[in-house]
A = this chain, B = another copy of it.
Amino acid sequence: VSASATIRDVAQHAGCSIATVSRVMNASGPVSIEMRDRVLAAIAHTGFRPSEIGRQLALRQSRNIGVVVPSLTNPVFATCLAGVQQAARQDGHNTIIAQSDYNPDRERAAITSLLAERPAALILTLCNPSDPQTRAFVASLPVPAVLMFNEPYAGSPPTVSVHNHEAGHRLARSLLDHGHQRIAFVSGSMAQSDRASARYQGFCAALSAAGLVPQPVYEVNFMEADDAADLSGLLTSQRPSGIVASNDLLALGVIAGLRRLGLQVPADVSVAGFDGIRIGRLIEPGLATIEWHAHALGVSAAAMALELAHSGTTTRVLRLDHQFRPGGTLAAAPVEAICDVEPRISSTSNPINEPLSGVSS
């Protein structure tokens, strides 16, 4: 029982050939009832568990799906991964993971390492799919691949994502509607994330439409929830009354960074983020954010990957819905902030369309 039995042991015990055993295991051919029972008994008796490895070699394909995410410690990726794993399991697949640590070189190494396992499919959240080198590498992948969370591009693998651009627009609108006119966009290293880029583009579009001139992204050295974000360079003469962070984890770091500088949220500065991580709802004030169903994103990615592996084709681009989640970190702009700003072009009135009814829902 300890040294795992092989299909031959089972065949011996059942008094049949290994072909028959294989047939009852996979229902891949006709087997008489009595023989089936004999084999089943032999399997139970020997404690036989078919080796995936043998199976994989024979079929030249595994039942594993490989997943690469930038990091596991950002809850939004962990949640995606949970969804992937659950969906994969329900289809009889195991999940092999790798982290790119937001590093394109590591990313390539990680994918290469996964490829050695001959996975049935790959699910990738790429650092920077706009990089030509990355695109070429992804295009040459010898197994079906699906992009998760990334922005699809011409020639990209099938992609399940969210409306990053719209989300950026939507969040900017919320701040504008609360009377904010000086709004900063804070991000980690921008070159590393097409998600952050797309959100920023949407953000800019909303500001421009409101007659404001968007400021460049304020980049902070903040990959994970290690520390408060260093905002000393942002809060100079013209302090923003609102800050949009490129994701929720960073938003928490921004709030901590503001606090360190003696500023209150939302009294002095409003803050909002993207992702809708669960923890954002538990804290006080609740984190205003654009929320999407990260778990469903993972489930969908796995579904697409498996469909691709099986039938060779699937939806090309799937975008999951998002919604604005109000939170106490986003409040009306302070009066002085509204006053001391010189309108850039023609500041239309910005009625507060979505007053917050207290805390997060």
Measured CB to CB, the residues of A under 8 A from B are 1-4, 49-54, 56-57, 62, 64, 71-73, 75, 78-79, 81-82, 85-86, 89, 94-99, 110, 112-118, 140, 142, 224-226, 228, 249, 252-253, 255-256, 259, 278-279, 281-284, 359
7 contacts between A and B (CB under 8 A): A53-B56, A73-B78, A73-B82, A82-B99, A85-B97, A89-B110, A259-B284
| In the complex, the 3 A-B pairs of residues with the closest C-beta atoms, listed nearest first | A225-B278, A78-B78, A72-B82
Nearest chain B CB to A264 CB, angstrom units: 10
Least distance between A315 CB and chain B CB atoms (Å) = 23
Q: A72-B79, A85-B98, A256-B284 are in contact. List 18 more A-B contacts (CB 8 A).
A: A4-B118, A4-B142, A51-B118, A53-B53, A53-B117, A72-B72, A72-B78, A72-B82, A72-B85, A73-B75, A81-B97, A85-B97, A89-B98, A89-B110, A94-B96, A94-B116, A96-B97, A97-B97
Docked CA distance A253–B279 (Å): 9
Tell me, in angstroms, the Cα distance from A113 to B71 when the chains sit together.
25
The count of identical subunits is: 2
Q: Are A81 and B85 in contact (CB under 8 A)?
A: no
Docked complex Cα distance between A86 and B110 (Å): 11
- Closest CB-CB distance, A137 to chain B, in whole Å? 12
| A98 near B95: Cβ-Cβ < 8 Å | yes
Instruction: Give the residue among A71, A82, A359 with the most B Cβ atoms within 10 A.
Output: A82
CB distance from A86 to the nearest CB of B (A): 7
Residues from chain B with Cβ under 8 Å of A56 in the complex:
53
Q: Interface centre among A51, A94, A278, by most B CB within 10 Å? A: A94
